[in-house]
Structure formats: structure tokens, C-alpha cells
């Protein structure tokens, strides 16, 4: 042994070696058995262990973490102070490591995947035992399959730091994720939607409930969900909540979702929409969904031919539309007839004082509302368009079909689905 102890990295303690361990008093007398560990979530950093559930003299008891002097593989030792046993009542921000985390799925924000905790790793940091991460690899699982004597020798496998993990609260869905966790907010709405689709009913609900506090994000995620999940969550909400959600979604996605509802519910929800959204949605629902009219977004940024580049840029700046729709600015005459397009990149590069008319691309082909997928796809491919205008009988522009709308439809069946036992329906 060296004379001076080197600075050692915090030692990792495997949860599986603590569960079932002997609970001893300060003299080493065995009092009972450790059943579960309680951690408090919600704060910054690694969540601290706040208490233990133990079986003492045949009774389930709660031992606060302050009463524990030492924790090691196979034994948990209490301090000298008198132990008063209390029944355990779970607080909203607490989870049980064995009951809720070990062997359960967690969200790994890194890569937006669901992982299963084969082992939970603990460490003593800042004078407190904390959860530092989970093991998702084979070693964590193997350790728990082996007899205790061998288990201690197995090291950590695929360690995932708690900083990128978000647990589910399990069977008590009302308890956690009520406030959107910053970890989830790091994900793209499409990634969150993928997670919801991959998770079980309860877990998916938990994620959606957590999104409730950020209404914009909730609407973005909803747009990305498949219709089955959309309907599932819509069924649990009141008409007013659904209307509020729909008004934040892109009108074409909102119309798609409305079309899935039963007739009475659909009318009730449409009546609750703000007038602008109601008008757009009603107009969209009048078109065949398999044609340009049903596929288009009725929102886009347009300018008159007399406008300057600065005017056009200002309109883009003020707009709250999604980026993909703003990539093209549409040029119209005073009677709203479609004349041509200007790419956003062209506007950015041009002299702000110049007129839009100098940049305008004319004779751009456009679509009728009854154009079918094939026609739309061929037009966009032939002319290298990322967006195409849809015009009515009087050549007035009524909407825009963007390339992502078309891709979604044309994607081969097998590609769309990420996994499945049954394949595509």
C-alpha cells in the first residue's frame, strides 16, 4: 500500500449487490433486508438516494438515508442513532430504483432511444450516495444472473450516464414528468414522436403529459405522431383541449387528424377552433386528401411584384411558419394571381434595395388542386422544386405543396416503418 492515498475516482456500486443485502446496526447485528432504494429526481445533477425500503422483523419499513452510515456490496450499516420505523409514503418526485428503474425502459436522450436498465450504478459524490447511470450491456445482466459470490467480479458493461437518461415512473403515471424535463426538450419533435410510438401505452402517455407544459412542442410532436397514437391521445382530452392543440398544428396536419375523428366530435372540435384556423381547416377538408388540394399547406409567404427585397425578407422574418415553407417566397399580382417565385437564398444574397422583380423566376409550373401524387412528384422532380404552388380556377394561389409532404407519401412501405413483427398494415 502506498503511503499517501492517490485521488481515487468515485467508486461505482452496483444496485444489484445492495438489493437483498443485510441491514445492520452500528454493532453489526443483522436487523433485516434491503428491498429497494428511493431516489429523488428533479434537481440538477445526479439524483440523490433519500431512503431505503427494508424488511425489518417481517415488516416493510422506511429508513431515511441520513440513518445510513455505510453502504457496501452485501451490507448496509446504520448509524448509532435510534432508528424509528415509519411506513413509507412516496412523494411525487421520488422513484424506487428496483420497482421503477431496474429492468425497466428509460429514455436515452443521446440518440433518442429506449434502453433497458440491466443494472443501476451508484456512487458517492459530494458526500451523498447518488445514481450516476445505468448499465444497458450484457455484463450488467450477467452479474445479476450469477451467484452473489461471482457477481462482484463482473465490471460495468455499457454504461449510460444519468445526465442523458430520463426514467418513466412506471405504474404511478400521475406522479412524474409533470414538468417538461430539459433532457426531453433537447430532442427533435420527430424523435420524441418516435419514442412515444416505440414505448408502451403508459410510457407514451407519460411523455405526452410531460409535453403538456410546452404547448408549441406538444403540437409539433403531435404532427409527427402516426394517426393511431394521435387518436389515442385525442380520446383522452376534452374538445377544448383538442381544439387548442389543433390550432397550434400545421393546418394540413390538423385537417388530417380531424378527418379521423367521429363525426360529432369533429364538428364540436371545429366549432371551438379560432376563426382563422377553422376557415383553413374547413377549406382543406373540402379537398380530396390524395390530391394537391388535400396535401397543401394554405399558409405561405407572398409578396407583390412591386415589393423590394427588404420587404420580402421582413415578411419572412415576421412569419411564424415552419422553415421548409419559408424557403420560397411567392410573387403575386394585385389580384392574387400567381406570377413566380423567389428563393429565400436569393433574397438573402441580393441588395436589400433591389426589387423582387429582378430576382423573380417566372414561368414556374404550378398545380391545380386536383393534381394527383404522380403529377405532383413528377413536376417537382422535373423542375427541381422544393415547393410547388397550388392555384384555383382563376390562377389565384391557394396553397403550397412542399417536398416533405410528397416524400411522406412516396416513401416505400418497408422504409417507413422502423420495426415490426407484423410488417406494414
Residues at the interface with other proteins (CB under 8 A): 102-104, 115-118, 136, 138, 141, 144-145, 171, 199-204, 226-229, 232, 235, 255-256, 259-260, 285, 289-290, 294-295, 409, 413-414, 416-425
Give the three-state DSSP class for 87.
coil
CA distance 22 to 56: 10
CB of 16 to other proteins, least distance (A): 9
CB of 217 to other proteins, least distance (A): 21
Burial pattern 10-30, b for ≥16 Cβ within 10 A else e, equals: eebbbbbbbbebbbbeeeeee
**Choice between 144 and 280, CB closer to other proteins:** 144
CB of 61 to other proteins, least distance (A): 21
Q: Which helix (H) or strand (E) holds 99?
A: none
Per-state percent for the chain, helix, strand, coil, to nearest 5: 40, 25, 35
**Choice between 224 and 360, CB closer to other proteins:** 224
**Choice between 348 and 409, CB closer to other proteins:** 409
**Choice between 219 and 301, CB closer to other proteins:** 219
Q: Where are the alpha helices (DSSP H) in 273-393?
A: 275-285, 292-295, 309-318, 323-326, 344-349, 356-359, 373-382
Q: Which of 182, 37, 43, 64 is nearest to 126 (CA)?
A: 43
CB of 416 to other proteins, least distance (A): 8
List the beta strands (DSSP E) in 15-112: 22-24, 30-40, 49-56, 59-64, 68-72, 75-78, 94-96, 105-108
Are 66 and 82 a contacting pair, CB within 8 Å? Answer: no
Residues 6+ apart with CB under 8 A from 305: 331, 332, 333, 339, 356, 357, 360
Give the three-state DSSP class for 394.
coil
**Choice between 290 and 361, CB closer to other proteins:** 290
**Choice between 48 and 298, CB closer to other proteins:** 298
First-residue to last-residue Cα distance in the chain:
66
CB of 236 to other proteins, least distance (A): 10
Q: Residue 216: left (phi > 0), alpha (psi -120 to 50), or beta?
A: alpha
CB of 397 to other proteins, least distance (A): 22
CB of 243 to other proteins, least distance (A): 19
**Choice between 74 and 202, CB closer to other proteins:** 202
CB of 116 to other proteins, least distance (A): 3
CB of 372 to other proteins, least distance (A): 11
Q: Which helix (H) or strand (E) holds 388?
A: strand 387-391
Q: Which of 49, 42, 50 is nearest to 183 (CA)?
A: 42
CB of 95 to other proteins, least distance (A): 14
**Choice between 144 and 176, CB closer to other proteins:** 144
**Choice between 103 and 239, CB closer to other proteins:** 103
Phi, psi (5° rounding) for residue 281?
Answer: -65, -40
CA distance 161 to 163: 5
**Choice between 87 and 111, CB closer to other proteins:** 111
Amino acid at each position: 500500500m502506498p503511503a499517501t492515498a492517490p485521488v481515487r475516482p468515485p467508486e461505482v456500486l452496483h444496485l444489484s449487490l445492495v438489493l437483498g443485502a443485510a441491514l445492520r446496526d452500528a454493532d453489526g447485528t443483522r436487523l433485516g433486508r434491503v428491498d429497494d432504494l428511493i431516489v429523488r429526481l428533479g434537481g440538477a445533477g445526479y439524483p440523490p438516494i433519500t431512503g431505503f425500503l427494508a424488511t425489518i422483523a417481517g415488516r416493510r419499513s422506511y429508513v431515511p438515508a441520513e440513518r445510513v452510515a455505510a453502504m457496501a456490496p452485501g451490507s448496509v450499516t446504520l448509524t448509532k442513532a435510534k432508528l424509528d420505523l415509519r411506513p413509507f409514503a412516496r412523494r411525487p418526485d421520488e422513484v424506487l430504483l428496483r420497482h421503477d428503474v431496474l429492468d425497466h425502459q428509460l429514455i436515452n436522450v443521446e440518440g433518442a432511444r429506449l434502453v433497458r436498465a440491466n443494472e443501476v450504478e451508484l456512487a458517492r459524490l459530494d458526500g451523498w450516495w447518488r445514481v450516476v447511470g445505468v448499465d444497458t450491456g450484457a455484463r450488467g445482466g450477467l452479474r445479476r444472473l450469477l451467484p452473489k459470490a461471482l457477481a462482484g467480479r463482473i465490471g460495468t458493461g455499457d454504461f449510460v450516464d444519468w445526465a442523458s437518461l430520463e426514467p418513466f415512473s412506471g405504474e404511478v403515471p400521475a406522479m412524474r414528468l409533470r414538468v417538461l424535463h430539459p433532457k426531453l426538450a433537447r430532442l427533435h419533435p420527430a424523435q420524441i414522436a418516435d419514442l412515444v410510438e416505440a414505448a408502451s401505452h403508459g410510457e407514451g402517455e407519460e411523455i405526452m403529459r410531460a409535453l403538456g407544459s410546452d404547448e408549441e412542442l406538444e403540437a409539433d410532436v403531435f404532427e409527427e405522431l402516426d394517426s393511431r397514437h394521435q387518436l389515442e391521445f385525442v380520446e383522452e382530452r376534452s374538445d377544448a383541449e383538442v381544439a387548442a392543440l389543433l390550432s397550434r398544428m400545421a393546418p394540413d396536419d390538423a385537417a388530417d387528424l380531424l378527418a379521423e375523428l367521429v363525426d360529432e366530435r369533429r364538428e364540436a372540435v371545429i366549432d371551438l377552433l379560432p376563426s382563422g384556423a377553422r376557415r383553413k381547416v374547413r377549406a382543406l377538408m373540402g379537398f380530396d386528401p390524395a390530391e394537391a388540394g388535400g396535401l397543401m399547406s394554405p399558409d405561405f409567404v407572398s409578396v407583390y411584384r412591386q415589393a423590394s427585397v427588404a420587404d420580402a425578407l421582413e415578411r419572412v422574418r415576421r412569419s411564424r411558419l415552419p422553415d421548409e415553407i419559408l424557403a420560397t417566397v411567392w410573387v403575386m399580382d394585385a389580384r392574387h394571381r400567381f406570377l413566380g417565385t423567389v428563393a429565400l437564398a436569393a433574397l438573402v444574397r441580393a441588395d436589400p434595395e433591389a426589387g423582387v422583380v429582378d430576382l423573380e423566376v417566372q414561368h414556374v409550373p404550378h398545380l391545380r388542386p386536383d393534381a394527383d401524387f404522380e403529377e405532383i412528384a413528377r413536376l417537382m422532380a422535373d423542375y427541381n422544386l422544393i415547393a410547388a404552388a397550388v392555384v384555383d380556377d382563376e390562377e389565384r394561389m391557394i396553397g403550397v405543396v412542399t417536398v416533405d409532404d410528397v416524400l411522406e407519401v412516396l416513401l416505400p412501405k418497408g422504409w417507413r416503418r422502423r420495426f415490426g413483427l407484423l410488417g406494414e398494415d
